[in-house]
């Protein structure tokens, strides 16, 4: 108990997007204060925080100053540099730990890490040159996915390679950065598990969500997922193993491919060491949302309940989807969430809505 940040304490959030905004709301319920560090003014998160500091995410001096003014520093995105986290740690406890970021922000390290835990991943190979790529294509076959090791999200930084002759062009397309090649996995559905890990190592699992992507961006998540009880157990087992091995503190999301009829039906695709879009349904479907449990975990509090009181289908409002806001606001069957972003741009996550129905499954 002695490590619990008492009410009135301050959480510092690196990142000003919608995840930071929803984390701020969760902190407000628990009597904690919030400061936001964002790289521009009028960010979604800063709109609901008493104080916001504006600075670059690589301005270590400024981030050190930010850390001085808060009790715990956390992140709403994973591509925070080790230097920035070290700077923040001079003034405050940092959670999740730097190690969780270091591994998950590098696709090669992440895949190796998961594999070493005895968990299935897509076949992969390290690719630094076009020559590496040609060799990897021979082993893994075509088509295959070439992905930069770092800074990829929402389908960015990746390209499908269809034949060995395309190797050079593909490397150019991703800017000749250090990369990995991934073999295609034949899957029937994508699922994810949001797990919270408390400071004392306790785990709390949300229900497995079934996800659909469009153009590399999550479009919907539904609970319950159409998978059986064994598979649900295994999906949670995998997420828990990963969170524990990373010595993670806070919420973490593991995206997996579900391969019907395979002996090891679940293949880990990606780890996000933070609250995740596929867990937004927990705001309306659970007593304690993923945002509340992230705040609880990093504040050293015990986790809140992760049980689901309703069925939920979360649908992202991407780009001009959000123009439907008035129609959605009039639909009693949905809970509407808008992120307060001034500019509507294609591919930008502007909000989401959750279809709620009585619990089953």
Please report, in range form, the residues annotated as the binding site for ATP. Answer: 107, 147, 152-158, 182-185, 190, 213, 269-270
Choose which of 186, 342, 346, 360 interacts with a copy of itself (CB under 8 A). 342
Does position 358 bind a copy of itself by CB under 8 A? yes
Does position 30 bind a copy of itself by CB under 8 A? yes
Does position 296 bind a copy of itself by CB under 8 A? yes
Task: Measure the CA–CA gap between 13 and 214, rounded to whole angstroms.
Answer: 29
Say how many CA atoms lie within 13 Å of 36 toward its Cβ. 30
**Measured from the CB of residue 50, what is the shortest distance to a copy of itself in angstroms?**
5
Does position 352 bind a copy of itself by CB under 8 A? no
Piece in contact with a copy of itself (CB under 8 A), picked from 123-131, 150-158, 183-191, 303-311:
303-311
- By CB under 8 A, the count of residues binding a copy of itself is 47
Binding mask 248-287 for a copy of itself (x = CB under 8 A): ------------------------------------x--x
* Long-range own/partner contacts, residues 211-219 (CB < 8 A, 24 or more apart): 211/255, 211/278, 213/155, 215/155, 215/347, 216/154, 216/155, 216/156, 216/158, 217/154, 217/155, 217/316, 217/318, 217/347, 217/349, 218/154, 218/277, 218/278, 218/316, 219/315, 219/316, 219/318
CB contact at 8 A, 195 and 243: yes
Greatest alpha-carbon pair distance for the chain in Å reads: 61
CB nearer a copy of itself, residue 61 or residue 342? 342
**Measured from the CB of residue 272, what is the shortest distance to a copy of itself in angstroms?**
22
Task: Tally Cβ neighbours within 10 Å of residue 269.
Answer: 19
Q: Which residue has the tokens 């409002």?
A: 317
Beta strands in 61-118 (DSSP E): 72-75, 93-94
Does position 7 bind a copy of itself by CB under 8 A? yes
Task: Measure the CA–CA gap between 237 and 258, rounded to whole angstroms.
Answer: 14
**Measured from the CB of residue 357, what is the shortest distance to a copy of itself in angstroms?**
10
Does position 329 bind a copy of itself by CB under 8 A? yes
Does position 214 bind a copy of itself by CB under 8 A? no
Task: Measure the CA–CA gap between 134 and 181, rounded to whole angstroms.
Answer: 10
Does position 305 bind a copy of itself by CB under 8 A? yes
**Measured from the CB of residue 284, what is the shortest distance to a copy of itself in angstroms?**
6
Does position 49 bind a copy of itself by CB under 8 A? yes
Choose which of 14, 15, 16, 48 interacts with a copy of itself (CB under 8 A). 48
For residue 243, count CB atoms less than 10 angstroms from its CB and return exposed for 0-12, middle for 13-18, buried for 19 or more. buried
Q: Which residues bind a copy of itself (CB under 8 A)?
A: 1, 4, 6-8, 21, 24-25, 28-34, 46-50, 284, 287-288, 296, 301-302, 304-305, 309-310, 322, 325-326, 329-330, 332-333, 335-340, 342, 351, 356, 358
């Amino acid at each position: 108990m002695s490590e619990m940040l008492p009410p009135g304490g301050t959480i510092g959030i690196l990142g000003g997007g919608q995840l930071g905004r929803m984390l701020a709301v969760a902190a407000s319920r628990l009597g904690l204060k919030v400061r936001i560090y964002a790289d521009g003014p009028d960010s979604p998160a800063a709109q609901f925080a008493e104080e916001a500091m504006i600075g670059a995410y690589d301005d270590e001096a400024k981030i050190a100053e930010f850390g001085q003014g808060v009790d715990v520093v956390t992140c709403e995105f994973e591509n925070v540099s080790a230097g920035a986290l070290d700077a923040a740690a001079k003034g405050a406890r940092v959670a999740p730990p730097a190690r969780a970021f270091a591994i998950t922000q590098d696709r090669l390290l992440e895949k190796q890490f998961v594999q070493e835990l005895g968990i299935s991943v897509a076949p992969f190979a390290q690719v630094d040159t076009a020559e590496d790529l040609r060799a990897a294509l021979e082993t893994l076959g075509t088509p295959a996915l070439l992905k930069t090791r770092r800074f990829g999200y929402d389908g960015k930084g990746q390209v499908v390679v269809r034949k060995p002759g395309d190797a050079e062009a593909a490397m150019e397309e991703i800017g000749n950065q250090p990369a990995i090649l991934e073999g295609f996995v034949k899957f029937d559905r994508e699922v994810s598990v949001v797990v919270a890990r408390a400071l004392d190592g306790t785990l709390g699992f949300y229900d497995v969500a079934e996800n659909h992507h469009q153009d590399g961006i999550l479009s919907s998540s539904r609970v319950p997922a159409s998978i059986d009880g064994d598979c649900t157990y295994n999906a949670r087992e995998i997420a828990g193993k990963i969170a524990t091995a990373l010595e993670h503190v806070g919420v973490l999301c593991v995206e997996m491919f579900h391969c019907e009829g395979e002996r090891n039906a679940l293949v880990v695709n990606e780890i996000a060491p933070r609250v995740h879009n596929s867990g937004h349904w927990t705001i309306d479907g659970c007593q304690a949302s993923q945002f509340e449990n992230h705040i609880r975990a990093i504040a050293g509090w015990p986790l809140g309940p992760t049980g689901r009181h309703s069925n939920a289908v979360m649908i992202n409002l991407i780009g001009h989807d959000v123009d439907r806001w008035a129609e959605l606001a009039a639909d009693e069957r949905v809970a509407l969430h808008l992120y307060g972003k001034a500019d509507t741009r294609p591919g930008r996550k502007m909000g989401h809505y959750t279809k709620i129905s009585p619990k089953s499954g």
